């Protein structure tokens, strides 16, 4: 357990950030999954793919995902879209 007042504050701040990051990571996963489902269903929705890529970019800018992680996931999504088209 945190002993100092500043350490206790860090624990509280980290908990807030963790819940915010968890929400954003969940949103990213959901949108990527929806985009992939439209691709694999045979009727790719460009809007769903664009929204998923945009959300990945925003997560990378905020530091929730590493920029290379976001770039890799966008690349995989784009390859799946191109292969299906």
Question: What average pLDDT score do residues 27-31 get?
Answer: 97
DSSP-derived 3-state class of residue 4: coil
Residue 85: per-residue pLDDT: 65
**How many angstroms separate the CA atoms of 80 and 35, rounded?**
10
pLDDT tens figures, 52-85: 999 999 999 999 999 999 999 999 999 999 987 6
Residue 41: per-residue pLDDT: 92
Q: At what angle do helices 46-62 and 5-40 cross, to 10 degrees?
A: 160
- The full DSSP string for 23-74 is HHHHHHHHHHHHHHHHHHTT---HHHHHHHHHHHHHHHHHTSS-HHHHHHHH
Task: Catalogue all structural domains in the chain, each as residue range(s) with its CATH number.
Answer: 5-84 (1.20.58.110)
Given a cut of 90, whether residue 2 has pLDDT beyond it is: no
pLDDT band, residue 1 (cuts 50/70/90): confident
């Amino acid at each position: 357990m945190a002993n100092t007042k500043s350490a206790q504050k860090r624990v509280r701040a980290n908990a807030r950030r963790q819940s915010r990051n968890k929400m954003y990571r969940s949103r990213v996963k959901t949108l990527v999954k929806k985009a992939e489902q439209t691709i694999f269903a045979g009727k790719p929705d460009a809007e769903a793919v664009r929204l998923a890529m945009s959300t990945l970019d925003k997560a990378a800018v905020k530091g929730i995902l590493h920029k290379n992680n976001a770039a890799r996931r966008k690349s995989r999504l784009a390859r799946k879209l191109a292969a299906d088209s």
